[in-house]
Amino acid sequence: MHQIVTPDGRINDEKIWRREPLYKGMNGSCVERIYVTPSDTLIFKPLTNNDQLGKEAWVYEHILPALPPIYPQLLANSSSSDPSSHWLMFEDLGTLKHPFDEATAIGLIAYIASWHSLPVSHLLQAPLRGPKPEAKAILAELLHRGTHPFELAAQWPSIPIPLLESLFTVLQQESFASDDLVLSHGDLHLGNYAKVKGQIKVLDWEHAHLNSRYWDLYHVIDLSHPTFPKEMTTTVRERLLDQYLLLIAQQGNGTHAPDFKRGYYVFSCLFSLWMMKLIASDIQANKGTWPIDQLKQQLEETTANLLQCARSLQV
């Protein structure tokens, strides 16, 4: 494996047949499919987020062995502490498609409930970090900046002002205490899981960390992504939450369903508000990271999800 990667973390083109770019990470590094021969392929992943140096290999060594084989196998990795030369090599699961469908999401929910049941006391000091701020930090940011419902209503006229006012009243009463931490994948958007030969595979574990149960659920249900559109409905959301509640009850971790759902709706509303502001900022900046039409679609999806969850809260 190391023969096809140079000491500075680059693919040695003389040792391979060809290479195929798959996607770029947040730092501009490109994940590629490497053809060692016309039929023998690997996935080469340089560090795509400099803050996550060494995290994915650590998760593979210390956490993922406790899960079923729902992740691509890590075949080799560098030990470099230099972000520019750090890399991992994974098995190639083939060309993956990422359409949203409820059956796959239901299957994924089962795995989420499973890893949420793992003990985490030994991970409290582990080198794990999520890709986004925690809920209480986002709430503090939203309130500290003095964001007013009228300001948001001016940006998004489709959201009624009375609904925003009621929602802000609810958010101001929430603490988002982190006293029920579970193992979280961290970045479980639609592009990070897929069915492979009928089995669900979960990708990109570098953002695994401890967080609220709602974190993974929000990513699967209500988080939007510019590259992987999905349409969520109140009915599907309820079925996914009901499935999760059923599974954790079977594990002996049951909770009062109405309270759990209310907590989810509040969590989803908070993150959707935050995401809407980020997406609007990306649209205004227009730096070319994402096509504007995809960002506008993402904003529409996030707004729709916010409205659905706020109405489920009956605010």
User: 76-107: per-residue pLDDT in tens?
Assistant: 999 888 998 999 999 999 999 999 999 999 99
Q: pLDDT of 252-280, one tens digit each?
A: 988 999 999 999 999 999 999 999 989 99
CA atoms within 13 A on the CB side of 63: 32
Whether 2 shows a pLDDT value over 70: the answer reads no
Banded model confidence at residue 148, pLDDT cuts 50, 70, 90: low
Alpha-helix residue ranges (DSSP H) falling in 85-212: 102-116, 135-144, 149-155, 161-172
Cβ pair 105, 112 in contact under 8 A: no
Pick the residue with more confidence: 143 or 71? Answer: 71
Which amino acid does the sequence have at 282? D
Binned at pLDDT 50, 70 and 90, residue 314 comes out as confident
* Half-sphere exposure in the Cβ direction for 177 (13 Å, CA): 3
Q: In sequence order, what are the beta bridge partners of 193?
A: 202
Structure tokens at 286: 């227009």
Amino acid at 104: T
For domain 102-312, the question of CATH label 3.90.1200.10 is answered with yes
Domain boundaries, the chain: 2-91, 102-312
pLDDT digits (tens, 9 = 90+) for 152-164: 767 788 889 899 8
Q: Do 90 and 75 meet the contact criterion of CB atoms below 8 Å apart?
A: yes
Note the maximum CA span of the chain: 64
Nearest 10 degrees: Cα torsion 240, 241, 247, 248:
150
Residue 24 pLDDT grade (very low, low, confident, very high; cuts 50, 70, 90): confident
User: Which structure tokens are listed for 13?
Assistant: 């083109």
Please tell me the distance from the alpha carbon of residue 238 to that of residue 43, in angstroms, as a whole number.
36
Give one word for 166, left, alpha or beta, with left for phi > 0 and alpha for psi -120 to 50. alpha
**Residues 54-81: tens digit of each pLDDT:** 999 999 999 999 999 999 999 999 988 8
Find, among 240, 229, 224, the residue nearest to 303 by Cα.
224
Query: How many whole angstroms separate alpha carbon 56 and alpha carbon 240?
Result: 28
Determine the Cα–Cα distance for residues 188 and 131; give it in Å rounded to an integer: 11
Three-class SS state of 80: coil
pLDDT-derived band at 147, boundaries 50, 70, 90: low
State the chain's mean pLDDT as an integer: 93
- The pTM assigned to this predicted structure is 0.94
Q: Are 70 and 104 in contact (CB under 8 A)?
A: no
Tokens 């904003």 -> residue? 299
At 192, the amino acid letter reads N
The CATH architecture that domain 2-91 belongs to is: 2-Layer Sandwich (3.30)
Q: How many CB atoms lie within 10 A of CB 161?
A: 13
